[in-house]
Amino acid sequence: MTAAYHPSQRAYDTPPASYWRDSAGAWSPPPTALPRRAEVAVIGGGYTGLSAALELARAGRDVLVIEAAFVGWGASGRNGGFCCLGSSMHDHETLARRYGDVRAGGFRRAQHDAIGHVRRLILGEGIECDIAGEGELELAHGRRQWRRMQRESGHEDGARLLDRADLYREGYAISGVYGGRHIRAGFGLHPLKYAHGLGRAVLAAGGRISEACPVLAVTPVAGGYELQTAQGIVRAEKVVLAGNGYTPRGLRRETDQGLLPVLSSIVVTRPLTPAEIAAQGWSGETMAYDSRYLLHYFRLLPDKRLLMGGRGGLSGAPGEARHIRRRLQQQIGRYFPAWRHVPVTHFWQGFICLARDLLPHAGVFAGGGGFFHALAYHGNGVAMASWLGARIGQVAAGTLALDEAVPALLRRPLPAFPFPCLRKAYLRGAYGWYRLADWFG
């Protein structure tokens, strides 16, 4: 599906020119020849694949991570660094109505477990990734959204309602919002430093990583699978597919027809001065996002740069990218008038991944029992990708049963989009409707 976007979005030999890349530096595993055999082959060197590989290596399995570009090249090195609740585009009430309280509750617990899993992993592996802030702020961009927040349980997930005066008093002065709620769960981090730390942990546990090695096909053979890659053939007893929005076409019909990559874009400013921070009144490092369908998300980084991200974009072409960069810079001025003229130093884009049912999915593909997957995080994958990757790694290692590892709601088969060739048309229509809904509040 990524073939429907501009080729620059799949330039595996080109690192994205992100603030994360500039501040983390390059890291790669020691170069080695592609091994011809592995007990388990993991496709994808992001949070999901590395977390799965870490569990497999710890269990004594011979595991090989195969990455098309380099560790953290995809969403794991491009996201906003929000380790938070989420990974579905449905709220808990909607999920409870559709699937029942038990399944919805299992997914909610998994979201909280995922945040704790990342924190424990960072501390246990000694990963230096600039942890910052406590929880996240959801900000109501319209009166209707503020009334909704007030109607809903203000203490859900430890949430606390904040009116505009509260926001200003607590160091979150922002224009154009009517209030918000602070959710205690979650924290910010440096996503690429975290990915590099996971990569180092995999190597330390005995796993192997092959970079610059796109997987072209996976074929069932006697005793497992044969993976055709750009560097040669690898045979493995089991396979874990962990590509998310960058999943290659042609590996499984389910992912070819059931995933929709969607562009997300981020800008980062130069460091703000103490006088500029005081002039605006936004001084905290808590993660924040607005209540729009086409949301904006933002956070003050530890070095006092502002990060602002948003959805949108249908082609990924350079001209469209320049337009999106200008739009995000304008949004900084709307929310933070005192920073209207602060220069943007970095801009980049990457794919989030949607499923038709707007839920993550993890389990075993039909027809074999040795081909596992975990994917579709809907723009909130830092915590859930790490947790689901680890859980599916335990399942592949044989140390945990699938029904114990993964909530029932996420074990459902990945549903196909109707007429999958029209997914971009569906997206175009959804963007139009969302813009109208956001405009009218």
CB atoms within 10 A of CB 394: 21
* Residue 369 confidence (pLDDT) above 90: no
Using pLDDT thresholds of 50, 70 and 90, give the confidence band for residue 439. low
DSSP 8-class letter at 4? G
* Residue 263 confidence (pLDDT) above 80: yes
- Give me the pLDDT at residue 164, please: 93
Give burial (CB, 10 Å; 0-12/13-18/19+) of 135.
buried
Contacts of 88 (CB under 8 A, 6+ apart): 95, 107, 358, 359, 360, 378
pLDDT digits (tens, 9 = 90+) for 340-365: 999 999 999 999 999 999 999 999 99
Q: pTM of the predicted model, to two decimals? A: 0.96
Q: Given the DSSP bridges, would you call strands 232-241 and 224-229 parallel, antiparallel or unpaired? A: antiparallel
Q: Are 44 and 241 in contact (CB under 8 A)?
A: yes
Question: What are the tokens at 431?
Answer: 């963007």
Report which secondary-structure segment, H or E, holds 402. Answer: helix 402-405
CB atoms within 10 A of CB 239: 29
Q: Measured in whole angstroms, how far is the alpha carbon of residue 429 from the centre of its chain?
A: 23
Over residues 30-48, the mean pLDDT reads: 96
Share of the chain above pLDDT 70, in %: 96
Over residues 369-376, the mean pLDDT reads: 96
- Give me the pLDDT at residue 96, please: 94
Looking at the chain, how many residues does it have?
A: 441
- Give me the pLDDT at residue 99, please: 95
Using pLDDT thresholds of 50, 70 and 90, give the confidence band for residue 79. very high
d(CA 47, CA 72): 8
Crossing angle of helices 191-204 and 47-58, in 10° steps, is 20
Over residues 305-330, the mean pLDDT reads: 93
Report the helix count and the strand count for the chain, using DSSP H and E: 13, 18
Closest CA to 1 of 379, 376, 329: 376
- Give me the pLDDT at residue 2, please: 66
pLDDT digits (tens, 9 = 90+) for 96-111: 999 999 999 999 999 9
Over residues 304-327, the mean pLDDT reads: 93
Domains of the chain: 2-80+192-258+356-420 (3.50.50.60)
Judged by DSSP in three states, 303 sits in: coil
d(CA 393, CA 42): 9
- Give me the pLDDT at residue 427, please: 77
Between 206 and 145, where is the model more confident? 206
Between 441 and 214, where is the model more confident? 214
* Residue 25 confidence (pLDDT) above 70: yes
Over residues 117-130, the mean pLDDT reads: 97
* Residue 441 confidence (pLDDT) above 90: no
- Give me the pLDDT at residue 48, please: 98
Quote the mean pLDDT of the chain: 93
- Give me the pLDDT at residue 155, please: 47
DSSP 8-class letter at 29? P
